[in-house]
Structure 1
């Protein structure tokens, strides 16, 4: 598994669909049964993982991935990505991936971690979540901000959105919680369960969040925790 020349085959039951989500018609690519024997990716995380505190507000720990994983993304998915997101192959620049394991208990969440977020306000990358866990660990949801109606954020929208965030922050009822479905400020408009070996991909400027169940067990063990492979596909 650690060989740089190793490329896992696609799962024999590989299938995909493209959903159109929300009023802003955001495309979401859903791949089920992505890679053959994906359990080996779980084994790699257990044997070779060097988990450290996450970056960019990720509520947990992260580790490097095997060399072949990015190669698999770039070998198997460009045609599907171009079709789903109306891109040309020349638009796809490179990918970057990390193992991610949710570990931060609600009481230790920073304010931005308790509400949906975007990874960028520019159309410069696509976000991917490849689940290496079971549905009870919680999937990923996409949201609409109720006050503004925004489902995607852009530089032009940030002033209006920021004003509402400041007001909504005064309400402490949603602090120190993982959002898991609609609340008074955000409407859940799509939810994707964490089926093992499912990969979802969406534009990084869409409001989204991991859906962490209320009775989630925060354990630093890739086998029984919420292990995902999180990737960005960077666009030219």
Structure 2
């Protein structure tokens, strides 16, 4: 959804006042490669009121399943490519449950990349379900041991993953996708990995499960 909020700049200003902290797993070089901070409650409530019926309709979620939601979080990408851990250098999935949804609001423009989706070549998988999770994990860890990914943010196809397509970033664009899909943030380190919400790759991330 483009032009999602009537006043998106108000959230950028809220991010400038927020207290950002390193994400869990940062010391182990795992998880989101940057900083996160809480988002104003009004955004969270409005987002859920709008998206609950839309997600159920467009992604085939049964009406009887209850909604569970993560806190909304401002996110800014700050980790330099050379400091990324092995799992941060390859596409990932968020969860293998059937109705886990990732929702992202871009508060940065197209210069900051977007979100891309991939197929794992050895397995042919582009979506990791619960029954495939263990097999996929064995394959990806073996590949990383045999041929470690270079210290960079993932983007184009390589020997292990095929790029299927990308959702480009655009200021005030909201995107929703299944968290079980193999994906990666497209990051442009040439712009600088700034912790300043006005300059950096600022997004709001929310996860829903049903």
**1:87 matched to which residue of 2?**
61
**d(CA) in 2 for partners of 1:143 and 1:214?**
21
2:152 matches 1:177: yes
Pairwise mapping of residues 123-138 of structure 1 onto structure 2 (< 5 A)?
123-138=98-113
Partner residue, 1:22 = none
SS of structure 1 residue aligned to 2:54: helix
- Tell me, which stretches of 5 or more residues in structure 1 are unaligned? 1-30
Q: Cα distance 1:167–1:126, how it changes in 2: closer, same or farther (>3 A)?
A: same
Residue aligning to 1:192 = 167
Aligned twin of 1:101? 76
Seen in structure 2, the aligned counterparts of structure 1 residues 155 and 80 have a Cα distance that, compared at 3 Å, is closer
Indicate the residue corresponding to 2:10 in structure 1.
40
Between 1:143-152 and 1:123-132, the stretch displaced more is 123-132
Q: Give the structure 1 partner of residue 28 of structure 2.
A: none
Counterpart of 1:68?
42
CA distance in 2, matches of 1:136, 1:177: 17
Secondary structure of 1:77 counterpart: helix
Deviation at 1:80, TM superposition (A): 1.8
- On the 8 A contact 1:70/1:95 being kept in 2, the answer is no
Where does residue 218 of structure 1 map in the other structure? 193
Q: Deviations over 1:181-222 (max 9, x none)?
A: 211111111201110111111111111110112524111100
Which of 30, 52, 70 is residue 21 of structure 2 equivalent to? 52
How far apart, in 2, do the equivalents of 1:79 and 1:152 lie?
23
> Unaligned stretches of 5+ in structure 2?
26-30
DSSP 3-state at the match of 1:50: coil
The count of aligned residue pairs is 203
Separation (CA, whole Å) in 2 of partners of 1:89 and 1:130: 25
Q: Report the RMSD for the aligned CA atoms in angstroms.
A: 1.6
Contact residue 61 and residue 99 of structure 2 kept, 8 A: no
Contact (CA 8 Å) 1:92, 1:233: kept in 2 or not? no
Local SS of the residue matching 2:132: helix
**C-alpha separation between the residues in 1 aligned to 2:102 and 2:203?**
12
TM-score by length of 1: 0.81
SS in 1 for 2:67: strand
> How much has 1:91 moved relative to structure 2?
2.7
Aligned equivalents of 1:43, 1:203: Cα separation in 2: 29
Deviation at 1:89, TM superposition (A): 4.2
Q: Secondary structure, in 3 states, of the residue corresponding to 1:224?
A: coil
